[in-house]
Amino acid sequence: MKRLYVLVMTTVACIVLASCESDDQVTTYINIEATEKMLNMDKEEPQYSDVGDADIFDFAYIKGAPKAEDDYDVDDIIKMYASTGSFDDPQPPIAIDIENNEIYVEPNIGRYGVDREKERKQVNDTDRVLELFERYDVLEWQNYYSDVKDYHSYEDGGSWSLVVQYEDGTIEEFRGEGTTDITPDNYSDFMSDLKSYVAEHIDD
């Protein structure tokens, strides 16, 4: 009986030690910090240079503008840009200066904002863009959509981003990344109508 007790206790101790060793080994092979970022548990806001009060209204520095903290109406929007696509099928971005009635032709979106040197098309109906925001309740969207579970699911998926600037200079971003369920229900219709609006003016 005593021998059986010793045998059982020895077996249990071996299992516990093996389990601890296994956990330690797993921990050494996992980059916990990177994994938390991928799982959106430790999101970091990108840091931009202090562009000053005068420049936050410049499309080229729009990402340096302060983040909106209040609720706004569609009529408060003065600028917007959108980018969408997958790694296999990137789509050209859209940038519209609503306040100055300009559509950017083949815009480049960089670290701080939209390349100001790109050609712009003068139009007189940017109120139609605001109508699309109203029709599709864009300002009611969540700010972030994602189904990212691990690095590979995101690597094979896609992403989208929509940034709006309000008349007080603050900005709000709506975005998504992953493979499925990364957009609001009416996102596709909104983008389709927005692309049609841009094409109507750029291609005429």
Each residue's pLDDT tens digit, 118-174: 789 999 999 999 999 999 999 999 999 987 655 444 555 788 999 999 999 999 999
- 69-93 pLDDT, tens digit per residue, is 999 999 999 999 999 876 566 688 9
Could you give the CA distance from residue 158 to residue 84 in angstroms, rounded to a whole number? Answer: 8
- Does the model's pTM come out above 0.85? no
Torsion of CA 7, 10, 12, 15, to 10 degrees: -130
Please tell me whether residue 96 adopts helix, strand or coil conformation: strand
Q: Tell me if 148 sits within 8 A of 177, measured CB to CB.
A: yes
pLDDT tops 50 at residue 21: no
Q: Tell me if 76 sits within 8 A of 63, measured CB to CB.
A: no
Tell me which residue has tokens 């219709």: 189
Give 167's contacts (C-beta < 8 A, 6+ positions apart).
Answer: 76, 77, 78, 99
Q: Tell me if 130 sits within 8 A of 74, measured CB to CB.
A: yes
HSE-CB for 194 with a 13 A CA cutoff: 27
Helices (H), 30-143: 32-38, 52-55, 127-135
